[in-house]
Amino acid sequence: MTTEKWAIAPSDDKVFYGEYDSREAAIKAGVVEFSGKPFCVGELRQPAPLSKGVDAHYMVEQAVEATEEDYCLGIPVTEGWPNATPEQYKDLQTRIGAVLDAWVKDHGLTPQWFVVGNIQRIEPTHLSD
């Protein structure tokens, strides 16, 4: 979502629904929907891209462990595996993240759902007219 959108729910642990153009519009709808009882509004946003979940250290560790059955002159591969610098891990993370985001886009796998943040409880009896 590129523009501000808000949703409503009977409480912060229930499913949010609706798509209102402003917080105020969501509050107005919530007052009607929940018959003046307290409810919650929340700001909608797209989920974070998968690239935000990339952990280069973990990926390298897993790749190295997957080759532990291989031996080089009788020594497990992990014993002689060179340590990458923080800059090299950052580079790997950036590269893998870019590939992952491109893969999501190329295959039409972008989520069609939203996450809710900035959740606020609304007490209609405290609203001023």
- 18-45 pLDDT, tens digit per residue, is 999 999 999 999 999 999 899 999 999 9
CA dist 22 and 11 (Å) reads 19
**Alpha carbon separation from 122 to 8, 68, 91, 126 (Å, rounded):** 10, 56, 45, 8
Residue 74 one-letter amino acid:
G
Q: Is the pLDDT of residue 98 over 70?
A: yes
Helix residue ranges per DSSP H, the chain: 23-33, 56-66, 77-80, 86-106
CA dist 100 and 50 (Å) reads 7
